[in-house]
């Protein structure tokens, strides 16, 4: 995808008002929105336009989110699909996430949060398309990173960790693996070192002042000097990433199991997603260190 072109986003929803709002919002933010009122139309539009990202409702006439995901991924195994849903659709949503959907948003959702998610995914996808630095001869690698909270730029770290992922994982999984790493790093910065609660973050997003909140917390109590420590190990059989922050930790035991029916009520979507994308997500007792592991499929 060329930097000068507008990234295409396919918006799929049978609710006309929401679809029109998303189209106007995406156009205003520099995207090229394409819209479909049902899954069947969306599949054909994807085949023709090959958008960078799909934003789709879970429950629609003619085709639900799972069928949409399956059919689009037959056309393009690297297709990126974000789902929108309301309470009562947890089972369908969970199947879609396990089938390769990249993210989900509970209705009603914050437009800015959705936009940030799409920008991140488009960036990840472009980097996968443009990466020519991996070597199929790699046997094993371990990397160490230290990230300062006050100047935290997590994308270069994610890129370094993921350069050789295609050696052992299909490209259809790599974006989701990068999303999992991004969520753990963002969690360590925002909720770990800066002690921003999920409620505070959601409120700041709604008010359009998340960046200001982060800067305020960086200045408090010398938080900016705190660091995030990252260790990644890639072998011919697995990826392991360990993220440690210098915060006070949190009660990770409150995170719902992906099999629970009420997971949409939980605020920590990023950790929940990572638990779906990775085979193992383990926190230390304090909650300021997490180890995520993805095994190569046999």
The number of distinct structural domains making up the chain is 2
Q: Which pLDDT value is given to residue 128? A: 61
User: Could you tell me the CATH number of the domain that includes residue 162?
Assistant: 3.30.565.10
| H/E stretch holding 280 | strand 280-283
What's the DSSP call for residue 263? G
Claim to verify: residue 174 and residue 65 sit in the same structural domain: no
Q: Is residue 168 within 8 Å of residue 237, measured between CB atoms?
A: yes
Alpha-carbon distance 293 to 275, whole Å?
A: 10
**What pLDDT score was predicted for residue 62?**
79
First to last CA, the chain: 32
Which of 78, 105, 126 is the last residue before a domain boundary? Answer: 126
Within a domain: 175: yes
Rounded CA gap, 131 and 136, in Å? 13
291 plus 159 within the same structural domain: yes
Report the C-alpha gap between 116 and 259 in whole angstroms.
27
In 3-state terms, what secondary structure has residue 275? helix
Integer CA distances (angstroms), 267 to 59, 248, 283, in order: 22, 19, 18
Degrees, nearest 5: CA angle 112-113-119 = 85
Residues 282 and 163 in one domain: yes
In this structure, the answer to whether residues 238 and 104 fall within a common structural domain is no
Q: Alpha-carbon distance 204 to 145, whole Å?
A: 29
Assigned domain for 2 exists = no
> pTM score, two decimals?
0.85
Residue at 1 is within a domain:
no
Q: Please indicate, yes or no, if residue 186 is contained in any of the structural domains.
A: yes
**Checking DSSP bridges between strand 289-295 and strand 238-245, what pairing results, if any?**
antiparallel
Q: Which of 218, 166, 225 is nearest to 190 (CA)?
A: 218
Q: Tell whether 140 is covered by a domain.
A: yes
Q: What is the CATH number of the domain that holds 61?
A: 3.40.50.2300
Q: Tell me the average confidence (pLDDT) per consecutive run of 10 residues in the chain, 298 residues long.
A: 71 90 89 91 92 90 84 90 79 83 84 87 72 75 93 86 89 90 92 86 79 87 87 95 92 68 62 90 93 92
Residues 6 or more apart in contact with residue 206 via CB below 8 angstroms: 110
61 and 192 belong to one structural domain: no
Q: Which residues pair with 53 in a beta bridge?
A: 9
Paired residues of 103 in beta bridges: 82
Tell me how far CA of residue 96 lies from CA of 3, 86, 265, in angstroms: 30, 14, 18
Return the structure tokens found at 295: 């095994």
> Within 13 Å of residue 33, how many CA atoms lie on the same side as its CB?
21
- 266 and 205 assigned to the same domain: yes
CA 37, CA 130: separation in Å to the nearest integer? 32
Task: Look up the domain containing 160 and give its range.
Answer: 135-295
| Residue after which a domain boundary falls, among 71, 91, 126 | 126
Residues sharing a CB contact under 8 Å with residue 247, sequence separation 6 or more, in sequence order: 188, 191, 192, 193, 194, 195, 226, 288
Q: 156 with 255, same domain?
A: yes
Asked if residue 41 belongs to a domain, the reply is yes
């Amino acid at each position: 995808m060329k930097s000068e072109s507008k990234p295409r986003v396919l918006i799929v929803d049978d609710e006309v008002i929401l679809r029109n709002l998303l189209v106007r919002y995406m156009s205003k933010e520099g995207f090229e929105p394409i819209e479909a009122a049902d899954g069947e139309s969306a599949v054909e539009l994807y085949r023709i336009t090959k958008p960078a990202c799909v934003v789709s409702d879970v429950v629609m006439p003619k085709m639900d989110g799972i069928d949409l995901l399956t059919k689009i991924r037959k056309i393009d195994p690297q297709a990126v699909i974000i789902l929108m849903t309301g309470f009562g659709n947890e089972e369908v949503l969970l199947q879609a996430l396990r089938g390769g959907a990249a993210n989900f948003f509970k209705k009603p959702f914050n437009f800015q949060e959705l936009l940030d998610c799409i920008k991140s995914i488009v960036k990840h996808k472009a980097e996968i398309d443009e990466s020519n630095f991996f070597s199929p001869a790699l046997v094993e690698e371990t990397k160490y990173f230290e990230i300062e909270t006050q100047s935290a730029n997590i994308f270069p770290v994610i890129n370094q960790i993921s350069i050789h992922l295609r050696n052992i994982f299909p490209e259809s999984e790599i974006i989701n693996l990068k999303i999992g790493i991004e969520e753990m790093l963002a969690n360590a910065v925002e909720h770990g070192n800066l002690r921003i609660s999920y409620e505070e973050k959601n409120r700041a997003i709604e008010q359009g002042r998340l960046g200001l909140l982060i800067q305020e917390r960086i200045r408090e109590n010398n938080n900016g000097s705190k660091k995030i420590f990252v260790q990644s190990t890639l072998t011919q059989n697995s990826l392991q990433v360990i993220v440690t922050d210098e915060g006070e930790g949190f009660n990770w035991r409150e995170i719902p199991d992906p099999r629970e029916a009420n997971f949409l009520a939980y605020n920590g979507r990023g950790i929940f997603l990572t638990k779906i994308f990775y085979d193992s997500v383990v926190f230390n007792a304090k909650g300021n260190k997490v180890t995520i592991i993805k095994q190569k499929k046999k």
